[in-house]
Amino acid sequence: MQHPTSVPVRLEPIHHAVGVLAPLWTSWTLETLCERGHLRSQQLASALPWLNMPTLHQVLVRMQSSGLLIKPERGCYAVSRLGQDARPVHRALASWHARHYEARATSWKGPDRVEDALARLRGRGAVEVLTALEQHGPLRPGALREAAGMATGSFHYRTRQLLDDGLVTRLGPEEHFAYDLTPAARGLGAVYAELHVWGRRSQTNDTTTQSHQHSAEANLARAARQSSLTAAATTRSFSHPPEPLQARSHARSTRPPAVPLPRLHRHAGLLRARRTLPPDLPAQVPQGPPDKRAPQHPPGRLP
């Protein structure tokens, strides 16, 4: 018998639902906001004192991106419609956990039961192994691995985890004996049904959100193009008209002649201005005072 090696289509909503609801503190945050309504970050931190602010901020951001929370106003969080629809899933998980794990968790609260139940189903390949055993009955390790479509290392790790969680059992002491479902795993029918319904709704919500985001980006791009066109038209409308050619030529003819600036030369690290005299003017030699002049001697006589 040929077993499928890929995840059946009907399991994809279950995987999606478990992936969104299983992360730690998601159930506690949803239940707290459902009971108390809109809360700010500080109020939510007071309601969940075991979470520090950085961890709480990460949880809130992740849940908002998953569509479980909304922000009706700045700094305030509330449960979205999708988050409200997850409450039947929580009730089914808590009821299943209390029915099959009551002896080991007598003092657990509802959110603790939900998170522990989801942690048992969250592992990669867990749902595939349980579904294969439900469809085909007890299977030996090789046949079960083929039916679940898993690699050898992942399969052995996951089956050991399922044995520890009490969801599968081995029909013999040796590893080559067949695996079968436990009563706890056989009671997951209602849980699977709720997870499947909510997972499909969440996938539809993700598709709608992505389409809205694409529409918003398209609107922003369209508005930017219109704004650029309007800015260009406005610039052309209010720019100065070009100056007539005659006015430009007249202004050029009446402009005073430019005065040449002295040329600057560098000498001994200093800047000096060398001024040149017009060629038609003789150079004037400065004369000193009379007493400083050179002595006059009669011609033909030397001093």
Distance CA 301, CA 303 (A): 7
Confirm if 262 and 273 have CB atoms less than 8 A apart. yes
Distances (CA, A) of 5 to 13, 136, 145, 162: 18, 15, 9, 20
**DSSP H stretches of helix in 101-188:** 110-122, 126-136, 141-148, 152-165, 183-186
- Sign of the torsion angle spanned by Cα atoms 262, 263, 264, 268: negative
Confirm if 163 and 170 have CB atoms less than 8 A apart. yes
pLDDT for the residue numbered 267 = 47
Mean pLDDT in residue range 56-67: 95
pLDDT for the residue numbered 46 = 94
**pLDDT 10s digits, 132-169:** 999 999 999 999 999 999 999 999 999 999 999 999 99
Mean pLDDT in residue range 14-30: 95
Confirm if 127 and 11 have CB atoms less than 8 A apart. yes
Confirm if 198 and 191 have CB atoms less than 8 A apart. no
**pLDDT 10s digits, 232-247:** 444 443 344 444 444 4
- Least Cα distance to 193 among 27, 13, 7 occurs for 13
* pTM value > 0.75: no
Mean pLDDT in residue range 19-42: 94
Environment class of residue 114 by beta-carbon count within 10 Å: exposed (0-12), middle (13-18) or buried (19+)?
buried
241: tokens are 């008209």
